[in-house]
Amino acid sequence: MYQVHQVNQSGLLAVSDTHQMYWEDCGNPNGKPVIFLHGGPGGGSSPATRGFFNPEVYRIIQIDQRGCGQSLPHACVEDNDTWKIVADIEALREHLGIDKWMVFGGSWGSTLSLVYAQAHPERVTELVLRGIFLFRDFESDWLYKRGGASQIFPEAWEAFEQFIAPEHRGDLIKAYHDILFGEGVSASLKIQAARQWCEWEEHIVFLNPREPDSDDAHVLAISSMENHYFYHQGFIGEDKIILNHIDKIRHIPTIIVQGRYDICTPIRSAYDLKQAFPEASLRVVIGGHSSFDTEVNKALVAATDEFAQHI
């Protein structure tokens, strides 16, 4: 990882009547442009995520997607969907006067990278993807229905499932949605549900789960945003729209980094993407889902160093 401390410029870009998107520009102002797309949905960029890129070579653009991080209004799901974020990315490219850029995204960020590239293939020089998630039904079921990741972490799954009344456990995404967004639901119950949602995620994202987040507002924002997108099938649906449109991006040099023991986004999706997109380089490493797992991290930095030669 590189150390990138200085922000050359940053701001809030008005992308709708409701939303202002936070963006920042680091590294070499005259360097190779790259945009980092964070995961979640509901995560955010950070100083640490600048470190995937050599700041002497890259002009590093980061954003916080609608409702995330420093974007305003925080945790707002109104007027918030995949295709609006794709439009926001393109609006920022135009705002910064960038003709083309490399796109880097992991997990939900890989989904967003792929749909952005398919919508604007002429604007993407390369793709670096990690922890592939295509928002197909079986991928959501793996995370939120009994029989998938629940078999790996049964004790964590039990806590996540048992928070919901037995009669509503057949659809946990909807059950949590009814609490997180329900009118008349107490603030304390919403926070409890948010914590259960995030604690389940901590187990499947990190090889060594972290301490629970103590910030109620952050926990509520992450859980609400993720649930909003899963409730609406990522605004993509089960029509395999990403795999069906690979021909639009087959010319784009692409590196896929996948942790062999990724429980959140299992290797099946990276494998399926590689089958549809044989020109891409699939690099499987010993690691989990997090981009900061040692071998995953090394492979991502190696990928950006490799593409740094494409000037």
- Catalytic option among 203, 262, 291, 293: 262
Catalytic one of 71, 107, 223, 269:
107
Q: CA 236, CA 203: separation in Å to the nearest integer?
A: 26
In the annotation, is 262 catalytic? yes
CA pair distance 246, 122, nearest whole angstrom? 14
The closest of 31, 51, 38, 217 to 113, measured between CA atoms, is: 38
| Catalytically annotated residue among 19, 120, 203, 289 | 289
174 burial (CB, 10 Å; 0-12 / 13-18 / 19+) is middle
103: three-class secondary structure by DSSP? strand
Beta-strand runs (E) in the chain: 7-14, 20-27, 32-37, 58-64, 101-106, 124-130, 254-259, 281-285
3-state secondary structure of 14: strand
Q: What is the C-alpha separation between 294 and 292, in angstroms, rounded?
A: 6
141 is annotated as an active-site residue: no
Task: Answer for the pair 229, 235: CB distance below 8 angstroms, yes or no.
Answer: yes
Residue located via tokens 């930095």 = 301
* 101: exposed, middle or buried (Cβ count in 10 Å: 0-12, 13-18, 19+): buried
Residue 107 is among the residues annotated as catalytic for this protein: yes
Q: Which two tokens stand for residue 174?
A: 């909807």
DSSP codes joined into one string, 159-198: HHHHTS-GGGTT-HHHHHHHHHS-TT--HHHHHHHHHHHH
* Four-CA torsion 197, 289, 143, 203, nearest 10 degrees: -40
Residues identified as active-site: 107, 262, 289
